[in-house]
Structure formats: structure tokens, C-alpha cells
Amino acid sequence: MRSDFFASSKGSAQKIFDPRTKLLMVVTISTVVMADSGGGWMSVLCWILTFVPLALFLIERKWKAALIYFCVYWGATLMQLYLLPLTTGVVNFLLVAMSFFSVRFMPGIAMASYLVNTTTVSEFMGAMERMRVPQSLSIPLSVVFRFFPTVSEEYTAIGDAMRMRGIRFGGRKPAKMIEYRLVPLLVSCVKIGDELSAAALTRGLGAPIRRTNVCEIGIKPQDVFTMAVCAAMILLFIFEKI
């Protein structure tokens, strides 16, 4: 988990899309691309879809993410085309599996990473409220998102402590390594979690009323357009299956 996960700062996210639109895009891409059976114009559409996460990364200036996605996806595609026919045996086995997973799953994973990297906890809560998601799901889900960066912070601190002690993987007791990392991590996280809950509850979280939200989320023309395209893709996909 990267530390800029879900963090927002001025200008880092340009709020092109509403969180709901982004969610629909994730669902569409991971459904349609993954089930692409090749041939015909559906395949062409899928091929176009794989560029969507790349374009979004570039628009948001997430250069590193764009580069990784580009390399993995098109690397695997090229590998399928040129390297696979040349190999046999174990190498072939590995390459088949690797390209299979990269080509099928990378677009969906990239889209999901775009969603989490450009949406704040508060926007996500706002979107869930507008979708009428009950509090029993929206509260834990927002806590999950809130905790990603915290867990990674704590994990780094424990990693520091282990480096100072000269404890590392491949050392004397490999099974102990997991214990040494997990136990302090869980103790810290439970403690922070308790304090966080206490603070949130004293500020009224969990009141049995509809929450309001000051985030500027809302369906804009580009959301309507994108949602329509997504819906069309999914309909086409179902139509093709039948």
C-alpha cells in the first residue's frame, strides 16, 4: 500500500468524475475486459477500454502509475505475440500464466487504483450516502479507507525498528518474523482504532439520521456521458453472451 493511498491534497485530484462514475467504470472494465472472448468488434472495444486507465492516470499526472500500467499491460501483450511461440516447457508455462493474469486483470486493477487514489474518504462517504448505502456498510467501509494509510505508517515504523535490531527475513527464525511484525502492528492498530472510534463517536458519528456532506460531488455532464457508455458496454456484453 502506498502512502499516498487515499490522501488528498490541493490539486492532486482534479475531481473530473463523481465517485459513483469511477465505481461504475471499475465494474465495467473488470467485467468486460476480463470476459473478452476475442474476435469481432467487441474485441476492438475491449482494446480501446484498456487505454482508459492509462489516459486517466496521465490526466491526473500520476506518471508513475501510468508507466507501470503501460509497461505491464503492453509488455504482456507483446510477450504473448512474440515470445510465447518461441518457448516450450516450464518457461512456456510461466509465461502463459503471467501474460494471462497481466492481460486479464491489469486494466481492472489499474482502474481500481485510479478510483482509490483520486477519491477522499469524505467524498466516498458522500457518494455512498447518495446511493442510499446503509450506515452499517458505509461506516466500516470509510474506516477501512481511513485505515489504509495508518496501517502503512505503522508498518513502516515497525520495519524501522526491525532494521535497527538487525531482524530481517531470512534470518534466524523465519516463522518468528511474521509474528514480530504482526503482533506490534495489531497492538498499535487496535490502540489507534480505539482512539479513533472514541474521537469520531464524540463528534456524532452514528446518529440515526441522514448525514450531510460538504464535498463537491455530483453528477456532471461528463459523468452522465461516461455512465451511459459504461451501461452500453455492459448491455452489449450481456447481449453477446446470449
Name which of residues 56 to 115 contact another protein (CB under 8 A). 80-81, 84-85, 92-94, 96-98, 100-101, 104-112, 115
Query: At its nearest, how many Å lie between another protein and the CB of residue 1?
Result: 6
Closest CB to another protein among 84 and 236? 84
> Which of 51, 58, 91, 160 forms a contact with another protein (CB under 8 A)?
160
Q: Does 204 bind another protein (CB under 8 A)?
A: yes
Using an 8 Å Cβ cutoff, are 217 and 19 in contact?
A: yes
Binding status of residue 144 toward another protein by CB under 8 A:
yes
Could you tell me how many residues of this chain bind another protein (CB under 8 A)?
108
By beta-carbon proximity to another protein, the closer residue of 136 and 221 is 136
Residue 196 C-alpha cell reads as 479513533
Q: Under the criterion CB under 8 A, does residue 132 sit at the interface with another protein? A: no
Question: Is 81 in contact with 101 (CB distance < 8 Å)?
Answer: no
If one asks whether residue 31 binds another protein (CB under 8 A), the answer comes out as yes
CA–CA distance, 13 with 147 (Å, rounded to integer):
20
Segment contacting another protein by CB under 8 A, of 57-65, 201-209, 222-230:
201-209
Q: Which stretch binds another protein (CB under 8 A): 62-70, 116-124, 225-233?
A: 116-124
Cell 518457448, residue located? 87
| Sole binder of another protein in the list 18, 19, 20, 29 (CB under 8 A) | 29
Residue whose C-alpha is closest to residue 128's, from 113, 117, 143, 114: 143
Binding flag, residue 136, another protein (CB under 8 A): yes
Cβ atoms 145, 124 nearer than 8 A: yes
Asked if residues 121 and 7 have their Cβ atoms less than 8 Å apart, the reply is no
**Helix (H/G/I), strand (E/B), else coil: 128:** helix
Stretch touching another protein by CB under 8 A, among 58-66, 189-197, 224-232 = 189-197
Is position 30 an interface residue for another protein (rule: CB under 8 A)? yes
Integer CA distances (angstroms), 219 to 17, 127, 224, in order: 8, 10, 7
C-alpha to C-alpha distances, 132 to 12, 80, 211, 219, 237, nearest whole angstrom: 28, 44, 11, 15, 27
Q: Which stretch binds another protein (CB under 8 A): 63-71, 142-150, 217-225, 228-236?
A: 142-150
Q: Does 190 bind another protein (CB under 8 A)?
A: yes
